[in-house]
Amino acid sequence: MNRIVLERSIPSPANPPEGCKFHTRCSKCMECCKHVAPKQKEIEPGHYVVCHLYDDVPEVSAAPVAAAQDAE
Ligand code: SF4
């Protein structure tokens, strides 16, 4: 496993930065991260992300999983 060493100081929780709260320390920060907070997205059943890197990944719906479990 590759370790990622975060650089720079932790933003103040009392005065968090605009956009993604991690953007001042993220090595993958994009321009949108500085201005728009990412939304939570379920990318696999029970696996959630809050990151613009997953903006183009389709969200799974809990409905088909629940329907499949009901059919069993
Ligand atoms: S949204 Fe994702 S890529 Fe952007 S700064 Fe936050 S953690 Fe990094």
The tens digit of pLDDT for each residue in 4-62 reads 888 888 889 999 999 999 999 999 999 999 999 999 999 999 999 999 999 998 888 75
Q: How confident is the model at residue 69 (pLDDT cuts 50, 70, 90)?
A: low
Q: Domain limits of the chain? A: 39-71
Atom nearest to 34 CA in ligand 1: 5
Q: List all residues 6 or more positions away from 52 whose beta carbon is below 8 Å from its beta carbon.
A: 20, 30, 32, 33, 36, 38
Closest CA to 57 of 66, 70, 44, 46: 44
Assess whether the C-beta atom of 60 lies below 6 angstroms from ligand 1.
no
In this predicted structure, the answer to whether residue 67 has a pLDDT above a threshold of 60 is no
pTM of the model: 0.76
Amino acid at 18: E
